């Protein structure tokens, strides 16, 4: 308790009251936990915040170069912040690139606690390398880096609030525990999200296969109907052929009947002719 009061007294000596310092540390813990637990899920938010910071910095540089003062300088910084925040929110991977770079740089400088040029340069290069690698392995590295950054921020603030700064185990242990919790939570949420996507994709695939099966079944039914119609048409053609064949047979029978009648008529004529002939008279004439 005395250690906490000592740190609070140091903060009060810097112009902040106990209540103000407690509020600041509590807000820092909350921000750190949000970053650590929802780093990947709120990636666009962190990108937009980075855009705001970069926009303010760019507006300040423009103000200094252009010699702007007062409201003109404030307007330049506000305009730069809004423009870059919107652009980086849309192209959020660019914002995450700068977020990772700044996070690694600030953690390195804070952990080493030696603000000299070699340390700053090494931390800057390390942050740049990790930011580039994050663009290649986006999801897992964003989870790991945001968990480390958020857990480190919340852990240090908690240690300061509880007055445990003189205990090495607390200084190392509290941030490490929070980092482990944040990493586990983010990977669990990510795995569930991937699982839901896979289930949804599997459902869509089954629905697609079901539609294809229904279409194939409908096509087979249409093919069967077409085959039935074709068979019915063939049967009708066969019936027509049989009918035509019967007609031909009937016509042949009628022709045979006519031919027999004609032969009967000829036989009758011949007989009547023979009857009319008088062979005795003819022989008499010959005699």
CA distances from 245 to 30, 231, 241 (A): 100, 21, 6
Give Cα 246 distance to the centre of its chain: 71
Name the residue among 78, 95, 86 with its Cα closest to residue 42. 95
3-state secondary structure at position 68: coil
Contact by Cβ (8 Å): 152, 175? yes
Q: What is the pLDDT of residue 225?
A: 61
Of 142, 185, 137, nearest to 39 (Cα)?
142
Residues 6+ away with beta carbon under 8 Å from 213: none
pLDDT at 149: 93
Tokens at residue 271, please? 């007989």
Asked if residue 89 lies in contact with residue 51, where contact means CB atoms within 8 angstroms, the answer is yes
Report in angstroms the alpha-carbon separations of 22 from 8, 33, 55, 108, 159: 9, 16, 30, 25, 12
Tell me the residue length of the chain: 287
The model carries a pTM of 0.65
Written as six digits, the tokens of 177 are 């525990």
Cα–Cα distance for residue pair 174/40, rounded to 1 Å: 22
What residues contact 137, with CB distance under 8 A and at least 6 apart? none
Q: What is the pLDDT along the chain (287 residues), one digit of tens a residue?
A: 334 434 444 544 455 667 888 889 999 999 999 999 999 999 989 888 988 988 888 888 888 888 878 888 888 888 888 888 888 888 889 889 999 999 999 888 888 877 778 888 998 999 999 999 999 999 999 999 999 999 999 999 999 888 888 888 988 999 999 999 999 999 999 998 888 888 887 877 777 777 777 777 777 777 666 665 565 565 555 555 555 555 545 555 554 555 454 444 444 554 554 444 444 444 443 43
DSSP state of 265: H
Which conformational region is residue 113 in: left (phi greater than 0), alpha (psi within -120 to 50 degrees), or beta?
left
Q: Buried b vs exposed e over 123-157: b needs ≥16 C-beta within 10 Å?
A: bbeebeebbeebeeeeeebbbbbbbbbbbbbbbbb
Angle between helix axes 92-112 and 43-66 (nearest 10 degrees) is 80
Q: Which of 138, 139, 160, 141 is nearest to 16 (CA)?
A: 160
SS3 1: coil
């Amino acid at each position: 308790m005395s250690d906490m009061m000592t740190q609070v007294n140091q903060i009060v000596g810097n112009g902040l009251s106990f209540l103000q310092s407690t509020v600041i540390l509590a807000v820092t813990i909350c921000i750190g936990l949000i970053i650590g637990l929802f780093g990947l899920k709120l990636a666009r938010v962190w990108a937009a915040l980075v855009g705001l910071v970069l926009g303010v910095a760019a507006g300040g540089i423009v103000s200094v170069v252009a010699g702007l003062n007062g409201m003109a300088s404030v307007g330049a910084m506000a305009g730069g912040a809004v423009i870059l925040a919107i652009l980086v929110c849309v192209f959020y991977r660019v914002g995450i690139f700068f977020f990772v770079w700044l996070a690694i740089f600030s953690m390195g400088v804070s952990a080493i606690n030696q603000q000299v040029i070699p340390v700053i340069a090494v931390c800057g290069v390390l942050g740049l390398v990790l930011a580039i690698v994050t663009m290649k392995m986006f999801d897992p590295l964003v989870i790991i880096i945001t968990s480390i950054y958020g857990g480190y921020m919340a852990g240090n603030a908690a240690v300061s609030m509880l007055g445990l700064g003189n205990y090495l185990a607390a200084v190392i242990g509290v941030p490490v525990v929070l980092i482990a919790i944040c990493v586990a939570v983010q990977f669990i949420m990510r795995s569930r999200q991937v699982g839901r996507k896979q289930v949804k994709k599997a459902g869509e695939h089954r629905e697609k296969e079901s539609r294809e099966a229904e279409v194939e079944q409908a096509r087979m039914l249409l093919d069967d109907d077409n085959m039935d119609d074709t068979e019915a048409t063939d049967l009708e053609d066969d019936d027509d052929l049989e009918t035509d064949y019967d007609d031909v047979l009937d016509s042949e029978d009628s022709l045979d009947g006519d031919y027999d009648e004609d032969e009967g008529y000829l036989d009758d004529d011949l007989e009547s002719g023979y009857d009319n002939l008088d062979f005795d008279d003819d022989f008499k004439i010959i005699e």
